[in-house]
Structure 1
Amino acid sequence: MRALIYKSTGSWYIARGEDGQLYNARVKGSFKVEGLTSTNPIAVGDEVNLNPEDEADNVATITDIHDRRNYIARTSPHNKNKHHIVASNIDQTLLFATLKDPKTSQGFLDRFLVSAEAYHVPAILVFNKSDLFRKKEQELYDELWNMYTAIGYTVLKISLKQGEGIEELKTLLQDKTTLVSGHSGVGKSTFINHLFPDMELKTQEVSGWSGKGLHTTTYAEMFDLPFNGKIIDTPGIREFGLVDISRQELSHYFPEMRALLNNCQFNNCQHINEPGCAVKAAVESGEIAESRFFSYYNILESIDAKSY
């Protein structure tokens, strides 16, 4: 039968079959390595075929994986030369950030946005803890809001503590599969708890499965929203390592640069020292934000360091 992967812990998976039942599923040995370059052959959000083995314990074998519509990957936290698929078949991603306690760097935001662009996943920036904003933070938020909305991103300000902006955010989640990401401490888990006030229901469903003793925050996990839609919770990400992006194509994942690439004098322009560069001219005229160009430059340098 067809099924959807709700949780992956590396060797065991939780899958919901088309019969509505949750199964503890394993991968057939040969399937695990065949032609796969990621550290995880199956990710949360994958559609698979299941072969039920033991109906009493709801144990099944995964026999096949269906083509992915899209996915988001990062460098593996355990092996920098491999990539790890965070989640697949997603409609959008929410990146939680904070401007205070802790402060999320713009470099981290931009790396994440580049990855979302590369994998064709619309991204929404959510700045939490607006109750901590003083004049300095509010000015920075206004600056970021102007910069990111001008290039096509949705940017929201919320306070989970005071309940500000939550209903607007819920509306954006309706009828969609959404990946939620961000550093630890930015309010991601608090938000998910807010969506599921009765968290016992959330954990009860999977009690008794093979990975019961594992730390739930280590792995991505998908939940059905009470108002139609699905949400995928990911562990807190310290850094976001980009994969499979060359120096040549990086500028394509900055929307404001992408719009100008045909105006550069050289087809292979990397927008650093080349003459007749439309991107550098746009930075100088203020059409492209200087801070976004610095993010581009820093990412470009990091790709070089890895000898892509």
Structure 2
Amino acid sequence: MKKEGIVFRSTGSWYDVKTEDGESIQCRIVGKFRLGNLKITNPVAVGDVVIVTIEEGDDEGIGSIIEIKNRTNYVIRQSPRKKHQLHLLASNVDQSICVMTIAQPKLKQGFIDRYLLMTEPYNIPTRVIFNKADIYSEGDLNVYLYLKDIYEKIGHPCHLVSAITGEGIAELRAALQDKTTLIGGQSGVGKSTLINAIEPHLALRTDDISEYTGKGQHTTTFAEMFELTGGGRIIDTPGIKTLAFSHFEPLDVAHNFKEIFKFSENCKFSNCMHRDEPSCAVKAAVEDGEISELRYMNYLQILEEIEDQNYWERHSDM
């Protein structure tokens, strides 16, 4: 018997699929699935619409995924364990949320730009959430206002929230209504606590920041989708330690920093990388304050990381 459903949970070898009639089926993969010519560690992602067959006999209730329907989009990242392979985080999402904190753990602003570089190639609208507002000092709040100005100017709404006091939660919940939203962030930013504040009945497991390292401890092991009572779905993902881009070419970076791409149309050279080239409109925009110097410095750092790998190393997975 064939049924269509959506993948709600992925453990790497098993997938929980919810069918149109609300049945939840544990599934394995039958056959090989590819994503173009990219080498990926997990061929099926949470959010995928799939066709499954239900096994009979001793394995009744166990299904097999035999087909993946066309995706409207997907989000991939460099595999944290195999740098020449990619990992599918989710598919068919309407928007994404990058959860950050300014304190506990201390802000790593560069992570925001790396997260946006993960979603921008697929035109996925992304919001930046600054959690733990209840512990922010006046200086921390000034940092928030500074970053809010940078990111809202380039089209990324920012929210100041506290999962503990409830500040900003109602506004955030409204932004999630009737949409499928991918939620990501570094370990320790309170992502699971934030999801519990948005949808209390989920009661996701949470851990405190490690007193020894000052870093967050993972509480989400696998990607999982949850239904929201007000309409919509959220896809929770494991905490991200670092984001690298060995699968990108330098021009991919330049094209997906949206304000850099916009100003690059006025550069003297069509292949300008906006470093030492003459008549560079991007560098002029940075000097004039039209492009954030912070964003520009992160752009240069990511370029340098990619160029440190030679061409064959970057393309070893093709």
TM over 0.5: yes
What count of residue pairs does the alignment treat as equivalent? 295
The one-character-per-residue Cα deviations of 1:269-302 (angstroms, maximum 9, x if unpaired) are 0000100100001111111111111000001001
Alpha carbons of structure 1 residues 33 and 148: separation in structure 2 relative to 1, 3 Å: closer
Match of 2:32 in 1: 31
Q: CA deviation at 1:150?
A: 1.0
The one-character-per-residue Cα deviations of 1:98-130 (angstroms, maximum 9, x if unpaired) are 000102311111011111111221110000111
Q: Which runs of 5+ in 1 are unaligned?
A: 204-214
| Equivalent position amino acid for 2:295 in 1 | R
Alpha carbons of structure 1 residues 286 and 160: separation in structure 2 relative to 1, 3 Å: same
CA–CA distance in structure 2, aligned partners of residues 260 and 74 of structure 1: 27
CA–CA distance in structure 2, aligned partners of residues 94 and 63 of structure 1: 31
Paired residues of 1:49 and 1:64 also in contact (CA < 8 A): yes
The answer as to 2:284 corresponding to 1:286 is no
| Equivalent position amino acid for 1:129 in 2 | K
The within-5 A match list for 1:134-153 is 134-153=137-156
CA–CA distance in structure 2, aligned partners of residues 242 and 111 of structure 1: 9
Q: CA deviation at 1:68?
A: 1.1
Paired residues of 1:73 and 1:243 also in contact (CA < 8 A): no
Paired residues of 2:166 and 2:197 also in contact (CA < 8 A): no
| Equivalent position amino acid for 2:119 in 1 | A
The one-character-per-residue Cα deviations of 1:27-63 (angstroms, maximum 9, x if unpaired) are 11x3257966210010100011011114885211111
CA–CA distance in structure 2, aligned partners of residues 106 and 306 of structure 1: 24
Paired residues of 1:31 and 1:63 also in contact (CA < 8 A): no
The answer as to 2:269 corresponding to 1:266 is yes
Alpha carbons of structure 1 residues 257 and 46: separation in structure 2 relative to 1, 3 Å: same
The DSSP-based 3-state class of the residue aligned with 1:14 is: strand
Match of 1:40 in 2: 42
Identity %, equivalent residues: 43
CA–CA distance in structure 2, aligned partners of residues 187 and 302 of structure 1: 29
Q: CA deviation at 1:244?
A: 3.1
CA RMSD in angstroms, aligned pairs only: 1.9
The DSSP-based 3-state class of the residue aligned with 1:217 is: coil
TM-score (norm 2): 0.88
Alpha carbons of structure 1 residues 195 and 140: separation in structure 2 relative to 1, 3 Å: closer
Paired residues of 2:42 and 2:88 also in contact (CA < 8 A): yes
The DSSP-based 3-state class of the residue aligned with 1:263 is: coil
Paired residues of 1:74 and 1:243 also in contact (CA < 8 A): no
Aligned equivalent of 2:52, options 50, 53, 62: 50
Aligned equivalent of 1:127, options 107, 119, 130: 130
The DSSP-based 3-state class of the residue aligned with 2:70 is: coil
| Equivalent position amino acid for 1:66 in 2 | K
Match of 2:9 in 1: 7
The answer as to 2:102 corresponding to 1:77 is no
Paired residues of 1:95 and 1:123 also in contact (CA < 8 A): yes
Paired residues of 1:96 and 1:180 also in contact (CA < 8 A): yes
CA–CA distance in structure 2, aligned partners of residues 33 and 125 of structure 1: 31
The DSSP-based 3-state class of the residue aligned with 1:259 is: helix
Aligned equivalent of 1:159, options 158, 162, 178: 162
Match of 1:296 in 2: 299
Bigger mean CA deviation after superposition, 226-235 or 133-142: 133-142
CA–CA distance in structure 2, aligned partners of residues 281 and 189 of structure 1: 42
Match of 1:233 in 2: 236
Paired residues of 1:54 and 1:60 also in contact (CA < 8 A): no
